[in-house]
Structure 1
Amino acid sequence: MPTLNLFRLKGGKASLKILSLDLKHGSVKLLVENPDDLWHLYNVISPGDLVYARTSRELKGRGEATRPGQSRRVSMTLGVRVKGVEFGGRGLRILGVVIEGPERYDGILGSHHTLNIPVNSVLRLVKEEWPEYQVKRLRRASEISGKPVVIVALDDEEACIALVGSFRMDVRFEHGVRLPGKRKPERRGEALKKYFSELLQALQEVLREVKAPVAVVGPGFIKEEFSKYAAEKLKEVSLQTFTVSSGGLSGVREAVRSGILLRFARESRLLEESKLVEEFLAELASDRGLATYGLEAVEKAARYGAVKRLLVVDRLLREAEVKERRKIEEVIKLVENKGGKITILAGGHEGGEKIMGFGGITAILRFKKDY
């Protein structure tokens, strides 16, 4: 089968692009390419940070910009010390005090200003210190997924299996079929069974070469039927279903264009988070003593090296006062230094909301808390 070399595949919407990363000086330059990127930035930018971005500002009646009694809006690049961050339908709003700007305009330094950050913006974010979990979040956001995705596109006439990564699409299997009509249920059922069997066999061959999640796409109910059929045979494989208008290679291409890769990565992440939350709840309900929650209890467990998996809701980090946030970040560092794993949960989804009920920070432990 042919290998199709494409422009960078982002499912029709590119991911956050890290233009430069200078952690020695606390500086990261970013290109925002879709609304999800704005959400990641909302959870990374904190009060006290510096943000540099292109903006506009109304200048009134003094300096070289205007004549007395007149005002006009002027485009410029400003550096703002962050006081607050707001996330909404129109983008990201960063509120703060101007600490750097064009010298030729009077009265700007020290004044309040709001940076509006829409999609396709470039900004530079500077922190005194970058917590490792925030760096990981940015790096994760800059990728679709750590692995390629296998797309299976099928309808009543054709099927295609392709391995899709960030920069290429490798078509592994194409198959034409002529299914009997629905008025002949017995013949159609037999033909459908054969069709699914051949498709599953081809899919298994691909999965033997590369371990990857599977997206089953197509129109109508046939994708749902195959997805159910495949799930019974591929119990260890992450498999999700999406709707496109056709099967075959055109269905694969439509899936890529329509943003499925980005959605797949996001939903796979949420599925992973949900499993971790359920694992915590199961441990909490058992008598094994391998779960704890609340900042004080989790900090104590972290100091003893007992934390195997730390779960922190992004909302807790975002809304905490500076002193509390620093304490949470210290706990995260402790867990990382002692070999534990950290997951920052999305507060707007069910798993994150459940953990918020336990104070927004919980831990699955390596050993029983008898300290």
Structure 2
Amino acid sequence: MRIVHKSIAKDGEGRVKLIATEAEDLWHLYNLIDVGNFVKATTIRKVQRETDTGSSESERLKIVLTIEVAEVDFDSQGLQLRIKGRNVVENSHVKVGAFHTIEVELHRSFELTKSKWDVIDLDRLTTASEPTAGADVAAVVMQEGLANVCVLSNSLSRFVARVESNIPRKAAGAAFNKDKSKSKFFDLVYRAIKDKLKLDELKVVILASPGYVKDEFFKYMNAEAVRTDEKSMIKIKPKCILAHSSSGHKHALHEVLANPALQSRLVDTKAAAEVKALETFFDVLNNQPDRACYGPPHVLYAADLGAIQTLLISDSLFRNADVPTRQKYVGVVDVTRSTGGDVHIFSAMHITGEQLNEMTGIAAVLRFPLPELEDMDLEQSP
């Protein structure tokens, strides 16, 4: 994402002119744009005009609108961001108060105004404008007849292809048919990788499966790349890591990323840091349960005592429409950082964020034990 202009006062009020340059930026914008913010953008509006003959015809005009945001919708599959709200600036084609939907487009600037840019917003601006924010890890989890191809960036985990092909069980006299079916399956996976991934941008390609499926596919992939002189596929050979997974289904990616053997190869990616933070939390929760907690009431209580050593929090919690609730979560981040703790903000669209959301979206490793948490009545959410 490119920041064209930024004007934010000390009290947090201000506006930023932005240009989304890649699909992942739309996810960042979805988290930045809140109900009650103002968005100014060039958009297309269908208007009715009267012809010289007195008849009416519609015309699509490009106009500049400023709307007060009422709803933000993100399509994770189509990677589209739509902002709905009321027009607040007089326009010859759109009345003040009329609803309009703006669809944010790549490489087209727009302006976002907030009454308060808090620390979470400013952190996301910084993250989104980093030039290394693109997808740099791909993973293929497979089993015989099934493969799921995924790309992992700093904020998104997207399954871009699912390959299914029938492979008959090996029976007497059926070896040839099985081998032929397996070759067809491998060819489909090969093509999915070649067509769906930006191979030149990848740092790591993980091939995972139960048994030897991954090994057989790796051998097929390299042979096919050489046979067809497909240079992009030849170049990814040293980037490939072979790993174990329990199946070829999507959920198997969780266990693959948690494999300690992968951590050294994933060290430069956000996924590695978050996987390690999650693994540390689960380890402490299992072995020293009074030094770990999860759920908003318990974590907020621990934050008030300055007890948080590592905070794990999902960005989905900051999209709360209730401003005081959002401010409480922002406050937890502020307090943790001010007391020297580490903060990991997980993307809800990332595989690690999905894991955290399964357990309320917020968790913490504590500096010192808080055994009283187990007996306290902290059932009410903030």
**TM-score of the aligned structures, taking structure 2 as reference length:** 0.59
Question: What does the per-residue CA deviation read over 1:276-299, in whole Å, with 9 as the maximum and x for residues that have no partner?
Answer: 111111111122522111111111
SS in 2 for 1:51: strand
Amino acid paired to 1:80: I
Aligned pair in 2 of structure 1 residues 215, 353: CA closer, same or farther (>3 Å)?
closer
SS in 1 for 2:88: strand
User: 1:333 aligns to what?
Assistant: 334
Q: Which runs of 5+ in 2 are unaligned?
A: 137-201, 206-231, 244-260, 373-382
Question: What does the per-residue CA deviation read over 1:203-251, in whole Å, with 9 as the maximum and x for residues that have no partner?
Answer: xxxxxxxxxx9769972785268999xxxxxx998435xxxxxxxxxxx
Deviation at 1:145, TM superposition (A): 3.9
User: 2:265 aligns to what?
Assistant: 239
SS in 1 for 2:56: coil
User: 2:353 aligns to what?
Assistant: 352
SS in 2 for 1:339: coil
Deviation at 1:71, TM superposition (A): 3.2
User: Does structure 1 residue 123 correspond to structure 2 residue 110?
Assistant: yes
Amino acid paired to 1:311: L
| 8 Å contact kept, 1:309–1:342 | yes
Aligned pair in 2 of structure 1 residues 367, 114: CA closer, same or farther (>3 Å)?
same
User: Does structure 1 residue 55 correspond to structure 2 residue 63?
Assistant: no
The CA distance in 2 between the partners of 1:351 and 1:338, in whole Å, is 25
| 8 Å contact kept, 1:214–1:238 | no
Aligned pair in 2 of structure 1 residues 274, 126: CA closer, same or farther (>3 Å)?
same
User: Does structure 1 residue 39 correspond to structure 2 residue 31?
Assistant: no
| 8 Å contact kept, 2:35–2:321 | no
Question: What does the per-residue CA deviation read over 1:52-76, in whole Å, with 9 as the maximum and x for residues that have no partner?
Answer: 11112122358x9xx7734322211
SS in 2 for 1:239: coil
The CA distance in 2 between the partners of 1:78 and 1:44, in whole Å, is 19
**Number of residue pairs aligned between Structure 1 and Structure 2:** 255
Amino acid paired to 2:129: S
Question: What does the per-residue CA deviation read over 1:134-179, in whole Å, with 9 as the maximum and x for residues that have no partner?
Answer: 2112211211349xx9xxxxxxxxxxxxxxxxxxxxxxxxxxxxxx
The CA distance in 2 between the partners of 1:77 and 1:225, in whole Å, is 48
Match for residue 26 of structure 1 among 10, 14, 17: 14
Structure 2 matches for 1:57-96, cutoff 5 A? 57-61=45-49, 69-88=56-75, 89=78, 91-96=80-85
Amino acid paired to 2:58: S
User: 2:89 aligns to what?
Assistant: 100
SS in 2 for 1:119: coil
User: 1:251 aligns to what?
Assistant: none
User: 1:306 aligns to what?
Assistant: 307
Amino acid paired to 2:352: G
SS in 2 for 1:100: coil
Aligned pair in 2 of structure 1 residues 287, 83: CA closer, same or farther (>3 Å)?
same
Amino acid paired to 1:23: I
The CA distance in 2 between the partners of 1:126 and 1:309, in whole Å, is 32
Structure 2 matches for 1:135-174, cutoff 5 A? 135-145=122-132
Structure 2 matches for 1:199-348, cutoff 5 A? 219=234, 223=238, 238-239=264-265, 268-287=269-288, 289-318=290-319, 321-348=322-349
SS in 1 for 2:359: coil
Q: Which runs of 5+ in 1 are unaligned?
A: 1-15, 150-212, 229-234, 241-263
**TM-score of the aligned structures, taking structure 1 as reference length:** 0.60
The CA distance in 1 between the partners of 2:38 and 2:335, in whole Å, is 26
SS in 2 for 1:219: helix
Cα RMSD (Å): 3.3
Amino acid paired to 1:60: Q
Aligned pair in 2 of structure 1 residues 221, 17: CA closer, same or farther (>3 Å)?
closer
Aligned pair in 2 of structure 1 residues 85, 140: CA closer, same or farther (>3 Å)?
same
Amino acid paired to 1:100: V
Deviation at 1:132, TM superposition (A): 0.9
| 8 Å contact kept, 1:81–1:96 | yes
